[in-house]
Amino acid sequence: MVRREVSSGGLVVNQAGEVLVVRDRHGRWALPKGHREPGEDLAATARREVQEETGVEAVAVRVLGRHRYPLPERPGVDKLVVLFVMRMSGGSLGPVHEVQDAAFVSWPEAKRLFVTGGYPGYAEMLQGWLDRRLPEGLSWAATKSAASPGGGDRTNGRVDRI
């Protein structure tokens, strides 16, 4: 029987339209993400993981995409990662935890980092998702108000059911 492991994270955009990237514990460039805790919805996981890894506070704007893959080092485990487009709402880059480095960079620079020092196919997958989910471009996420009146995230569709 295959066991599913769930993680969530985000493509965080600041007011300048730059995206937050991290060099993970394996030394590869990626977006901040991490494991969902019991009882936590996926948007809350993304917020918490971004803050824990980088010091940046962010709110989910919409689902960017879902990626499922097996974990070769753990036979029988199927990994599901849900990524959100997120808008920076506070905090600042601080001492990083759980990652080697974190930075805000332009989207072209992020793609370059993902291609030269990231996971195979990662940049292309993200660009494909962006083309379908955010035709307005990343500057939209930087300036659009994403917080609902109640202070929570506003996302398109139910993302807590996987």
* pLDDT tens-place string over residues 16-29: 889 999 999 889 99
Going from the C-alpha of 102 to that of each of 25, 41, 140, the distances in angstroms are 12, 24, 22
Residue percentage of the chain with pLDDT more than 90? 57
Q: Is the pLDDT of residue 151 over 50?
A: no
Q: Is the pLDDT of residue 149 over 90?
A: no
Over residues 61-70, the mean pLDDT reads 88
Q: How far is CA 143 from the centre of its chain?
A: 18
Domains of the chain: 3-142 (3.90.79.10)
User: Which residue spans within the chain are E strands per DSSP?
Assistant: 3-13, 19-23, 29-30, 33-35, 56-70, 77-91, 101-105
- CA terminus-to-terminus distance, the chain: 18
| Strand, coil or helix: 18 | coil
Predicted model pTM: 0.84
Over residues 119-137, the mean pLDDT reads 86
Averaged pLDDT score across all residues of the chain: 85
Q: What does DSSP assign to residue 118? A: B
Q: Is the pLDDT of residue 154 over 60?
A: no
| Strand, coil or helix: 154 | coil
Residue 132 to residue 64: CA distance in whole angstroms:
9
Q: Is the pLDDT of residue 135 over 90?
A: no
